[in-house]
């Protein structure tokens, strides 16, 4: 099975928004205004996140990108040794799985295609071109890092086995997001398996839906699915024009999760001043779902940067839930363009915080949980709750969440009674004091000395099933 790049060469206005980078070509990037990028940048710019670009290679020396190229800090360059023992020698900035060599830059194989050679660098520029450096453009996640992984040749062709190795590399080297601006039309179980594995490892994969029949007419993926887009555990992306309408070339269908601008795109190109095909570091008038995908990957990077503990499922949910409804301008594609048009600002807002340090419950259940950093902890009873909180229920600001959001949170140990309280388990007459995380059995005489004649009012009754939440110390005094 082969994978190939799909894109079109096909021009830009920009209203001023909140955060305005100083890059001279920023006014040509009207698609950033379309997804409210400036407002998102007021909140976060991608610090600390890594996006792996699996493509035709990335110009790691590009003047508007090199400061944002990922560096493998555990690898010493050009010493011929696999210093970090990851199986790849001298992989300082990524790896070329096509040529089996450390440099992930594009290679000018015989009969190369200029657009294919430029493609990986253009995708990387949309995601993380350096901002405010008096050069060219700005990336949507301009403080993130690009991990270049070359999986396609200079004609935009690649093989599934190579792609699988590229995904493994990105996951094992701690990418947060993997951008796949590529598509094939043959199902491969081994590729779906590795996609599922990546999600299990906490890495989000964003994939292009494709540009139809030879890049001219969009295909209904319900009848002709594309891959990896139609695997369940990816974000599949379709392309829109500047008015939010489906691009004529863009594939569509229920596989699609989200849509984003994909026409009249300005980005980076592979730069080589000695080669007449690559004398400009910038290329305009790109169109294709490849570029829509890059914008969604960059938005996912912003969300991850804002709330690092989020899982791929949670990030996907945030991006979908915050999307702009475009059904009014796409009535013939209802339910076929995902949840709508990417809105980077709303996505970042929804990610801050994702139920962090809050109390939550499901609508039809009384149980209350404390949530922080993507974990949920149950209060086993109201008495346990009130050992930590004061006031009444109306003052607690308990957030009702959906079953999906609840399921996405990871269950941790139940919350124990606050230290210094007395408790008893309802199947036993024994009284315990909780101190320094351990249960100490106390007798009535001692309890009266400590708490007075009304000590029984201070005892919290706990269901016996929650005894395992505590550590019993038989020797404490």
Write the pLDDT tens digit of every residue in 148-200: 999 999 999 999 999 999 999 999 999 999 999 999 999 999 999 999 999 99
- CA 124 – CA 217 distance, rounded (Å): 26
Length of the chain: 477
Percent of the chain with pLDDT over 90: 66
Consecutive H or E run containing 123: helix 114-128
55 is catalytic: yes
Q: Note whether 152 and 123 are within 8 A (CB).
A: no
Residue 475, pLDDT above cutoff 50: yes
Residue 164 and residue 148: Cα distance in Å, rounded? 15
From the candidates 290, 339, 381, 387, give the one annotated as an active-site residue. Answer: 290
- 3-class SS of residue 112: coil
375-400 pLDDT per residue, tens = 888 988 787 787 777 777 777 888 88
Q: What does the pLDDT average to over 265-276? A: 96
DSSP H helices in 129-177: 160-172
Q: Cα torsion for 404, 406, 412, 413, to the nearest 10°?
A: -140
The pLDDT tens digits for 287-305 are: 999 999 999 999 999 999 9
Beta strands in 250-293 (DSSP E): 258-261, 265-268, 282-287
Is 287 catalytic? The answer is: no
| Contact criterion met (CB below 8 Å) for 442 and 433 | yes
What percent of the chain has a predicted confidence (pLDDT) above 70? Answer: 90
Among the listed residues 55, 59, 90, 176, the single catalytic one is 55
d(CA 197, CA 172): 11
pLDDT reading at 7 higher than 50 = no
**HEC assignment per residue over 389-428:** CCCCHHHCCEEEECHHHHHHCEECCCCCCCCCCEEEECCC
Contact at 8 Å (CB) between 208 and 248? Answer: no
Indicate whether 453 pLDDT > 90: no
Mean pLDDT of 101-127: 95
62 given a catalytic annotation: no
Tell me the CA end-to-end span of the chain in Å, nearest whole number. 71
CA dist 154 and 98 (Å) reads 10
pLDDT surpassing 60 at residue 5? no
Interatomic CA distance for residues 353 and 348, integer angstroms: 9
* pTM of the full structure: 0.76
pLDDT band at 13 (very low <50, low <70, confident <90, very high): very low
DSSP-based three-state secondary structure for 99: coil
Using a 10 angstrom Cβ sphere, with 0-12 exposed, 13-18 middle and 19 or more buried, the burial of residue 274 is exposed
* CA 50/CA 349 separation, integer angstroms: 20
Spot the catalytic one: 38, 56, 119, 247: 119
Q: What SS3 state is found at 312?
A: helix
Pairing verdict, β 422-425 and 431-435: antiparallel
Q: How high is the mean pLDDT of the chain?
A: 89
pLDDT: is 282 or 376 the higher one? Answer: 282
Residue 451 per-residue DSSP state: H
Q: What is the pLDDT of residues 212-246, one digit of tens each?
A: 876 568 999 999 999 999 999 999 999 999 999 99
């Amino acid at each position: 099975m082969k994978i190939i790049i799909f894109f079109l060469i096909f021009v830009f206005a920009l209203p001023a928004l909140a955060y305005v980078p100083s890059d001279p070509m920023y006014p040509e990037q009207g698609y950033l205004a379309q997804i409210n990028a400036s407002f998102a940048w007021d909140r976060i710019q991608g610090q600390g996140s890594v996006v792996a670009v699996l493509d035709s290679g990335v110009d790691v020396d590009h003047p508007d990108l090199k400061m944002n190229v990922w560096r493998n800090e555990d690898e010493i360059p050009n010493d011929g040794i696999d210093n970090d023992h990851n199986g790849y020698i001298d992989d300082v900035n990524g790896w070329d799985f096509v040529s089996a060599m450390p440099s992930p830059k594009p290679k000018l194989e015989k009969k190369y295609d200029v657009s294919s050679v430029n493609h990986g660098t253009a995708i990387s520029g949309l995601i993380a071109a350096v901002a405010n450096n008096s050069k060219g453009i700005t990336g949507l996640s301009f403080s993130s890092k690009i991990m270049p992984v070359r999986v396609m040749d200079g004609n935009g062709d690649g093989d599934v086995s190579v792609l699988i190795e590229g995904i493994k590399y990105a996951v094992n080297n701690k990418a947060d997001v993997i951008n796949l601006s590529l598509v094939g039309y043959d199902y491969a179980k081994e590729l779906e398996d590795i996609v599922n594995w990546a999600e299990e490892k906490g890495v989000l994969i964003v994939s292009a839906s494709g540009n139809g029949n030879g890049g001219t007419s969009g295909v209904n993926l319900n009848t002709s699915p594309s891959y990896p887009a139609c695997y369940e555990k990816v974000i599949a992306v379709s392309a829109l024009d500047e008015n939010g309408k489906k691009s004529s070339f863009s594939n569509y269908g229920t596989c699609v999760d989200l849509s984003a601008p994909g026409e009249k795109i300005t980005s980076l190109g592979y730069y080589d001043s000695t080669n007449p095909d690559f004398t400009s570091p910038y290329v305009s008038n790109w169109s294709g779902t490849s570029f829509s995908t890059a914008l969604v990957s960059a938005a996912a990077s912003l969300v991850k940067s804002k709330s690092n503990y989020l899982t791929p499922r949670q990030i996907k949910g945030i991006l979908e839930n915050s999307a702009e409804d475009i059904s009014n301008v796409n009535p013939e594609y209802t339910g076929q363009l995902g949840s709508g048009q990417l809105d980077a600002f709303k996505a970042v807002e929804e990610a801050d915080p994702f139920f962090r340090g809050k109390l939550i419950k499901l609508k039809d259940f009384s149980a209350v949980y404390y949530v922080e950093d993507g974990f949920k902890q149950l209060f086993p009873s109201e008495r346990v709750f009130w050992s930590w909180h004061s006031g009444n229920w109306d003052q607690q600001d308990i957030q009702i969440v959906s079953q999906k959001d609840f399921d996405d949170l990871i269950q941790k140990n139940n919350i124990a009674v606050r230290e210094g309280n007395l408790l008893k388990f309802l199947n036993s007459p024994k009284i315990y004091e909780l101190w320094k995380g351990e249960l100490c059995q106390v007798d009535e005489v001692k309890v009266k000395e400590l708490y007075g004649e009304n000590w029984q009012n201070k005892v919290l009754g706990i269901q016996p099933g929650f005894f395992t939440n505590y550590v019993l110390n038989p020797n404490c005094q």
